[in-house]
Structure 1
Amino acid sequence: MFQSLIATYSTWATIPLRIALGAVFIAHGAQKVFGLWGGPGLTKWLATPPPFAFMRPAWFWMGSAALFELLGGALVLLGLLTRVGAAMIAIVMLVAVLGVHWPGGFFLQNRGYEYAFSLLCASLALLIAGGGKLSVDESLMRGRGRRR
């Protein structure tokens, strides 16, 4: 099971994706968890209503979203358990697209889902490819004598 989580294709293409996605989600997660860069901080974030009515208790779902952003971003940036981090990000972005931005239509200028959809697709690419070159996953995989 662990080997399938760290398995990765030997490609350089994932590096810019990991850097961009990791930076964006570490920053947004840090806003929500720590209140950095003008963010709400955890107490205010946990009081935010969730995007769907079935998400009860709200604090659990909002806390999970903040943690998934911060931890998922860190995992993706490091290339450590990249698929797990990418899955965390994909879940948050799917909820953001469908539960928050969908009514605004496609374009970001109308609070649309354009940006969240792009981040969702980037996370899906990493979910498929794994961490690639210069990732902790690749180092772990090499250490186990497996290479894809």
Structure 2
Amino acid sequence: MAALGLLIIRLVIGLTFVGHGAQKLFGWFGGTGVSETGQWLESIGIKPGGKIWAVVAGACELIGGLLFAAGWMTPLGAALITIIMIDAIITVHGRNGYWLTNNGFEYNFVLIAVTIGVAFIGPGRYVLFSP
């Protein structure tokens, strides 16, 4: 049952990050794409190069999510997701305190804990690629 539990966690979190990356990179799933995401990043003070950082963030989310969901190179996938979540805390949510009700970093922190926890435990039996 533990392997099934890990698979569910990996798929939900990993595919959610794939979706977030696709929103930033391609404008899919209601996203804004690189240009508008870059403009937003510059509007919150990430200057210069908002578009470059939009590509970097989108790629980390997309690649990290794919690796995490697949259970292949899980620590790397978890690290990419963790980096993005730490960045979100530093640039957006940290100043609002902990609780999500105040746009705080509660959700980001939970995602960091889960991805790091899975990286330490391992991806479980159900993986796309076996070493």
Compute the TM-score of the two structures, normalised by the length of structure 2. Answer: 0.84
Distance across 2 between alignment mates of 1:122 and 1:60: 28
The aligned runs of 1:115-126 (5 Å cut-off) are: 115-126=107-118
C-alpha separation in 1, matches of 2:116 and 2:94: 19
Is 1:103 aligned with 2:104? no
Stretches of structure 1 lacking an aligned partner (at least 5 in a row)? 1-10, 141-148
- Runs (4+) of structure 1 moved beyond 4 Å? 50-53
Ranges in structure 2 where 5+ consecutive residues have no aligned partner:
none
| Aligned positions, number | 128
Q: Does 1:84 align with 2:76?
A: yes
Deviations 1:46-71 (A, max 9, x none): 23326675x75433333211110011
Residue 52 to residue 93, structure 1, CA distance change in 2 (3 Å)? farther
- Find the aligned partners of 1:45 and 1:118 in 2 and give their Cα distance: 24
Instruction: Calculate the TM-score normalised by the size of structure 1.
Output: 0.76
Distance 1:52 1:69 in 2: 21
Q: 1:25, 1:69 within 8 Å by CA — same for their partners in 2? A: yes
Q: CA deviation at 1:26?
A: 1.1
Q: Which amino acid aligns with 2:54?
A: M
Contact 1:48–1:62 (CA under 8 A) maintained in structure 2: no
Q: Pick 1 or 2: higher relative contact order, CA cutoff 8 A, min separation 6.
A: 1
Identity of aligned residues (%): 33
Q: How does 1:39-118 map to 2 (within 5 A)?
A: 39-49=31-41, 57-118=49-110
Q: Work out the CA distance in 2 between the residues paired with 1:127 and 1:52.
A: 32
Q: Does the 8 Å CA contact 2:25/2:54 hold for their aligned counterparts? A: no
Listed one character per residue, the Cα deviations across residues 48-106 of structure 1 (whole Å, up to 9, x for unaligned) are 326675x7543333321111001111111111111111110010001112221011111
CA distance in 1 between counterparts of 2:31 and 2:116 reads 26
